[in-house]
Amino acid sequence: MKKNIYILFIFLIPLTNIFSQKESASQSGIGVVYLIVPLSITATTGDLDFGEIILSSVASTETMLPSHGKLFVVSGHPNRDVTFTFISANMDNSAWVATTGGAVGNLMFVPDVELDSGTKVTNGDSHPLLLDNGIGKLDVWVGGSIDIAANQEHGDYTGLFTLSVTY
């Protein structure tokens, strides 16, 4: 009987070695994070005021060069591309009519946008922010035009123009 136990014991030793071996694998990778400067746009100098225009029975177009219009400063991460988004803006004289009476009229402001360098910007264009004292920066000028119909309704016309930028 002793022989049977001993033999059994000899057979268990190799089995425990087989079951006690561990298998493992590993893989490593490099983590990357890009910390970027927040994007901002600030309206600074100038305006989009076309001034007083004398109406006539003849249609006309009034134009403001971008360099005589409103300056916007875009700041963000140096050398990153920013995409510009803007559309024409409707202008009306409804606030003026509400106070003084008369008929409501509409005008369309068609923006003319260009960089400080003179490069024209169209809706959807992308341009890189230029390095300026450690930050990315672009000066963007906005002018534009309005078409005035013959016998356009008189009054003070206002509208909202929006210039947006995204990375």
Q: CATH number of the domain that 114 lies in?
A: 2.60.40
Whether 26 is in a domain gets the answer: no
Give the least confident one: 16-30, 87-101, 145-159.
Answer: 16-30
Domains contained in the chain, number:
1
Whether 30 is in a domain gets the answer: no
Output the pLDDT for position 18. 52
The C-alpha atoms of residue 15 and residue 142 are separated, in whole angstroms, by 83
Candidates 151, 155, 121; CA nearest to 57 is 151
Whether 151 is in a domain gets the answer: yes
Where does the pLDDT of residue 35 fall: very low under 50, low under 70, confident under 90, or very high at 90 and above?
Answer: confident
Whether 73 is in a domain gets the answer: yes
Candidates 108, 39, 45; CA nearest to 75 is 39
Residue 107: which domain range?
A: 36-166
Whether 100 is in a domain gets the answer: yes
Where does the pLDDT of residue 11 fall: very low under 50, low under 70, confident under 90, or very high at 90 and above?
Answer: very low
Q: Tell me the pTM.
A: 0.79
- Torsion sign (Cα): 76, 80, 84, 85: negative
Residue with more model confidence, 32 or 18:
32
Whether 88 is in a domain gets the answer: yes
The C-alpha atoms of residue 113 and residue 85 are separated, in whole angstroms, by 11
Whether 162 is in a domain gets the answer: yes
pLDDT at 3 over 80: no
Candidates 15, 69, 12, 13; CA nearest to 43 is 69
Residue with more model confidence, 29 or 105:
105
3-state secondary structure of 98: helix
pLDDT at 15 over 90: no
- Per-residue pLDDT tens over the stretch 126-145: 999 999 999 999 999 999 99
Whether 17 is in a domain gets the answer: no
pLDDT at 120 over 60: yes
